């Protein structure tokens, strides 16, 4: 029993040592690293045309609902017909697979916006690292909270305030990861509308608008990650003595 207790205490000490080093040394590095990233060309682009990803979807024309000829390289489609039997036309138009009940694009898989994916690939590791860092700092503060007793709890209140801020940052960082899947899902729904209604321009424009919005969101997330690292570093260092030794007679202010 004593051996297990000693192992747990050793684990706590390792967490405390690692977390304190993380806050004092790694957090400032992350602030500078994120600020440099935020000012890089990938995150300062203001010409949204460079963010757009050309969809290049052929738009079929309709004439009397009959497929009987090609006008300017575009087939005339029978609106009542769901499958295209003429193999010469299937590589030029959007078709519908009756058996699988899915929309088929002329050039195979409809691509994601590679410009947005590139930014996700850059930023996603930082999101994951922020979640891990705040979780470690949270455990560090929890281990330093003394046993519950009457009086002289000002230092404990500082620990609780700091802990609440760390938890808030952890939750926000996790939500950034959820935004990635939400973006892909929203875009996929719009693309499926394009597959079903290729003649409606608004659906195609909605995808472009969504990509622009996501680009701005990514820039904002990058700024928030930098700001969160900076604010946590500042808050913890200002109150480091109270966080480590909350039970004293020194009634210093929180900030």
Domains in the chain, please, with CATH? 11-55+110-244 (1.20.120.180), 58-109 (no CATH)
Q: Alpha-carbon distance 47 to 44, whole Å?
A: 9
Residue 57, number of CB atoms within 10 A of its CB: 18
Residue 182, number of CB atoms within 10 A of its CB: 12
Query: CA nearest 51: which of 107, 110, 121, 118?
Result: 118
Each residue's pLDDT tens digit, 126-167: 999 999 999 999 999 999 988 877 666 788 889 999 999 999
Q: In the prediction, which pLDDT does 71 show?
A: 44
Please report, rounded to a whole number, the percentage of residues in the chain having pLDDT higher than 70. Answer: 75
What's the burial of 239, exposed, middle or buried (CB within 10 Å: 0-12/13-18/19+)? buried
- pLDDT range class, residue 106, cuts 50, 70, 90: low
Each residue's pLDDT tens digit, 11-65: 999 999 999 999 999 999 999 999 999 999 989 888 888 888 877 776 665 544 4
Each residue's pLDDT tens digit, 21-31: 999 999 999 99
Q: Alpha-carbon distance 107 to 90, whole Å?
A: 9
Q: In the prediction, which pLDDT does 207 show?
A: 92
Q: In the prediction, which pLDDT does 52 show?
A: 87
């Amino acid at each position: 029993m004593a051996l297990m207790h000693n192992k747990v205490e050793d684990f706590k000490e390792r967490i405390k040592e690692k977390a304190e080093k993380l806050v004092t040394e790694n957090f400032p590095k992350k602030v500078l690293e994120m600020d440099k990233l935020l000012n890089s060309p990938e995150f300062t682009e203001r010409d949204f045309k460079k963010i757009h990803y050309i969809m290049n979807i052929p738009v079929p024309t309709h004439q009397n609902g009959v497929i009987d000829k090609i006008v300017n390289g575009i087939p005339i489609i029978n609106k009542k017909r769901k499958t295209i039997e003429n193999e010469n036309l299937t590589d030029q138009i959007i078709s519908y697979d009756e058996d699988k009940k899915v929309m088929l694009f002329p050039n195979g898989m409809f691509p994601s916006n590679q410009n947005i994916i590139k930014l996700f690939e850059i930023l996603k590791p930082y999101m994951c690292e922020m979640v891990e860092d705040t979780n470690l700092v949270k455990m560090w503060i929890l281990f330093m909270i003394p046993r519950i007793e009457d009086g002289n709890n000002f230092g404990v209140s500082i620990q609780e305030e700091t802990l609440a801020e760390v938890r808030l940052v952890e939750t926000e960082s996790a939500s950034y990861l959820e935004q990635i899947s939400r973006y892909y899902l929203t875009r996929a729904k719009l693309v499926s509308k394009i597959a079903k209604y290729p003649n409606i321009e608004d659906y195609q424009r909605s995808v472009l608008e969504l990509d622009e919005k996501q680009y701005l969101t990514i820039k904002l997330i990058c700024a928030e990650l930098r700001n969160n690292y900076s604010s946590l570093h500042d808050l913890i260092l200002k109150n480091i003595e109270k966080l480590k030794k909350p039970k004293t007679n020194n009634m210093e202010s929180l900030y």
